[in-house]
Amino acid sequence: MNIGMVQQSDRAALQKEVGELFRLGWPLIFTFICDVSFVTVTTIATSWISPTAVAAVGLTLNLLLLTIVFFFLCLSAIIVITADLKGAGRQAEIGALLKSGFRLAALFSAIAAFCLYLLWLFLPALPLSAEGVMLAQEFIRIGAWVVPLDLFACVVMFASNGLGRTFWVGVINFVSVPALIVLTWVFAFSNLGIPVTAVEGCAYAIVLTIGMRSLAFLCLALQDEFKSVNFWQGAVSSSLNDTRKILSVGIPLGLAEISALGSISLIGVLVAQIGVDALAAHNIANNVFVLTHVLLFGVSRATVIRVGLLTGRGAATNEIQRSIVASFILASLFSLVTMALLLWFAGDITALYTSEPTVAALVTNLILCIALMKLVDDPAIVLQACLEGVQRTRPIFIVRFAGQWLVGLAVGYLASQWLGVYGFWLGIAISIVFALMAFARCAHAEFNLFSRQPD
């Protein structure tokens, strides 16, 4: 066979894979945007109310997310398990997977309710004024009610993603953002004369937005792809679509997220000892760093779906490798765009957050550091998604935990003695380099990546 024709065929297959990843991934970008908007819109709204309100609600939101994020990440294992079952042509067994997911959602709802009640009782012990405690308890008393509905709805949403039906998931999340803004304007500021306090209004806006989004997610089950999942007659099989399977894949993902949130929170506490300006700069830089993942989030989720589908199908190694290469290509394009924006507009981005000269100087330099960190952070996320796609999630938690707590914190604390807040960000960068190297080793063992293939 003509070598040129083979190469042309390979290029065409690679281009097709890039297109498929883009089709799957771009709608999921709005999932990231929507989730971030709940914190962003509420923070902006409460900042217009009073300093006490923004401090109380902001702290409560962070604690609320830390309390429930594990349950959602655990259920997200449904994505890759669904993709694997679809690839294997076993769609009829996805219905039983959904039933297992609903059982876990019920269990998680009960546990989350208990945890949130404990959080509500714990709020008076936080460093808040009496008014701040009252506002925080008021907010969580209303906002907690939507958690069970969201957990059940996410089971269907995750299954839809695993089936490759991401478009309507993106549309629902896209519509949720302006809905949240409008409802916050209506309730928090009594623009329609509804008799609630401002903080209560913010909470009601979140509850109504997530409630409507959850109902829309449940309607995803009406898609044609769900007609063959055999929900009512599907039988649960051990280690295939039962709760134990979801937990075995999902628990490490939840723990990895808890590890990340916990380490960044501890870094914040340590940075606070340097000074108020350093803490303000660190918090702003961390917010920017989180936002830089908006485009890559779609690529990583699409990679999980594709690798899971190909693995279930029993695809050849070179076909899975092609999908991974396509993921790197797409991630590289998005990374270059993000890096360019950070490097060219570092000062302008800083100005959106602060006008205080000392803080602004620190933030601008940290943003430039973040731009360089994308060179290692984005490939690490792609490799992590590849491992998740073959349901090897335990190494993900081990690597992230070791990198963040044993490497990053140690290096950051030592470097901060000479470099201040920059030292902690050096530690974060080193932890990401550690993760990249570890994930590359795991991916090489799993997919035979980074090796020259025989002609």
For residue 331, being part of any structural domain is answered with yes
My answer on whether 78 and 97 are in the same domain is yes
Name the domain boundary from 196, 220, 241.
Answer: 241
My answer on whether 33 and 161 are in the same domain is yes
Per the listing, tokens 């019920």 go with: 106
pLDDT per residue over 84-122, tens digit each? Answer: 999 998 888 898 999 999 999 999 999 999 998 998 898
Question: CB–CB of 241/100 below 8 Å?
Answer: yes
My answer on whether 197 and 302 are in the same domain is no
My answer on whether 185 and 323 are in the same domain is no
Q: What is the pLDDT of residue 451?
A: 57
Q: What is the pLDDT of residue 195?
A: 67
My answer on whether 154 and 191 are in the same domain is yes
My answer on whether 209 and 178 are in the same domain is yes
My answer on whether 208 and 280 are in the same domain is no
My answer on whether 184 and 291 are in the same domain is no
User: How many angstroms separate the CA atoms of 368 and 130, rounded?
Assistant: 40
Q: What is the pLDDT of residue 198?
A: 80
For residue 340, being part of any structural domain is answered with yes
Is the pTM higher than 0.75? The answer reads: yes
Task: Please give the mean pLDDT across all residues of the chain.
Answer: 89
User: How many angstroms separate the CA atoms of 129 and 123, rounded?
Assistant: 11
For residue 12, being part of any structural domain is answered with no
The CA-atom distances, in angstroms, between 1 and each of 10, 13, 15, 195, 452 are 13, 17, 21, 77, 21
Q: Which of 132-141, 329-338, 355-364 has the highest mean pLDDT?
A: 329-338
What is the domain count for the chain? 2
Average confidence (pLDDT) over 365-393: 95
pLDDT at 373 over 90: yes
For residue 50, being part of any structural domain is answered with yes
Question: CB–CB of 380/436 below 8 Å?
Answer: yes
pLDDT at 5 over 50: no
User: How many angstroms separate the CA atoms of 337 and 246, rounded?
Assistant: 36
Instruction: Categorize the per-residue pLDDT at 67 as very low, low, confident or very high, splitting at 50, 70 and 90.
Output: confident
SS3 label, residue 232: coil
For residue 22, being part of any structural domain is answered with no
Q: What is the pLDDT of residue 273?
A: 87
My answer on whether 355 and 271 are in the same domain is yes
My answer on whether 116 and 229 are in the same domain is yes
User: How many angstroms separate the CA atoms of 353 and 336, rounded?
Assistant: 23
Q: What is the pLDDT of residue 62?
A: 78
For residue 8, being part of any structural domain is answered with no
Name the domain boundary from 206, 241, 276.
Answer: 241
422-451 in b/e burial notation, b at 16+ Cβ within 10 A?
Answer: bbbbbbbbbbbbbbbebbeebbeebbebee
Average confidence (pLDDT) over 33-62: 81
Instruction: Categorize the per-residue pLDDT at 388 as very low, low, confident or very high, splitting at 50, 70 and 90.
Output: very high
Name the domain boundary from 241, 275, 294.
Answer: 241
My answer on whether 231 and 259 are in the same domain is no
pLDDT at 378 over 90: yes
**Half-sphere exposure for 46 (CA within 13 Å, toward CB):** 28
pLDDT at 242 over 90: no
My answer on whether 305 and 407 are in the same domain is yes
For residue 341, being part of any structural domain is answered with yes
Average confidence (pLDDT) over 259-266: 90
For residue 21, being part of any structural domain is answered with no
Question: CB–CB of 257/73 below 8 Å?
Answer: yes
Domain that residue 120 falls in:
27-241
